[in-house]
Amino acid sequence: MNHPSGCASAVLTIDLGALADNWRTLAARVAPAECGAVVKANAYGLGVEQVAPALWAAGARTFFVALMEEGLILRDVLPEADIYVLGGLLLGTAEAFPGPRLRPVLSSPAEIEDWARLCAARGVDLPAAIHVDTGMNRLGLTLEEAFALAQRGAGFTPSLIGTHLACADTPGHPFTALQRERFARVAAAFAGIPASLANSAGCLGGRELHFDLTRPGIALYGGVAVAGTPPLKPVVRLEVPVIQVRNGLPGDSVGYGAAQTLKRESRIAILSFGYADGFFRAYGATDAHAGADAIIAGRRCPLVGRVSMDLTAVDVTDLPEGAVKRGDMAVILGDGISVDELAAHGGTIGYEVLTSLGARYRRVYSGG
């Protein structure tokens, strides 16, 4: 069944022009290092089929995804891009990699052996990255394994040597300098192979972190990458409709669990969205703590009561009588409400806000 494009109640606008500007800002900052782009998790929830071409047009040529499935989608969108799969090789998947532009990031001796066997079987030196653990203790070769590999060879020529920073979002954290020192020794052992250390936070750090190729993610999408450092341009705007305005009396409670009690005669706007749309229950308000804000009629208004699956209540008492009515739109992200401000109300981070944005929103792309 076909549905009219306007039937989705809430609108998520993604500013591809701001996204491209953010990439260009980072690319200028890290030059002469190459600036790549991380587009995993469907471009942080914003739509890889739209985001990736905008980044390509801005000048990005190397992209990073988490899974091979994501890489295959991106390869169809950008067939000339170099695409690295950060999750590496799942068992038995080496032969499924279709060609030299889709490259696994190999994080264990077993994965390296699998890739070397594939190269030998095909008689081709297929490109792949080597991931070295410099202290994060997630994925990656140990330092000892990396130095041994550099001595004996991998059975193919790596196209990239990389690691991941754990604490670069905290300015001056000593662990960043330690990781940088460890990685510099590894990069020297793999002389002639491009090296990649910097994530978004690393891009905004000193030049000693940039090496040959950087991998910005959250900074591209308008999120805070380094604590205390303002983000680049905002990329997302979320507007949701008011479906009812109702009155409440002192002593009335709002929402599930009677978590918040009105202290005055109030007007409450009910918005058509909730935690099924990625607007977390933790954003709600109780008698013990305030919740997030929405902007209605140009003014910030506080949430009242718990967020439910499909509905959220906002206190609009302080707006002039008649200033808000059914069909008006409330701004949830935008007009000064950032993904990181919203995240703070839920005890989380901007990454989770972006990647949780709901499938029920009507997505509009602008500035492309």
DSSP 254-278: ESGGG-EE-SS-EEEEEES--GGGT
Per the CB < 8 A criterion, the answer to whether 253 and 305 are in contact is yes
Compute the distance between CA of residue 68 and CA of residue 351 in angstroms, rounded to an integer. 21
308: its two tokens: 């439910």
The amino acid present at 29, given as its one-letter code, is R
Nearest to 333 by CA among 14, 3, 1, 5: 14
Residues noted as catalytic: 40, 256
Indicate the angle between helix axes 143-152 and 109-122, nearest 10 degrees: 20
Helix locations, the chain, DSSP H:
16-30, 40-44, 48-58, 68-77, 109-122, 143-152, 174-189, 200-203, 339-345, 350-355
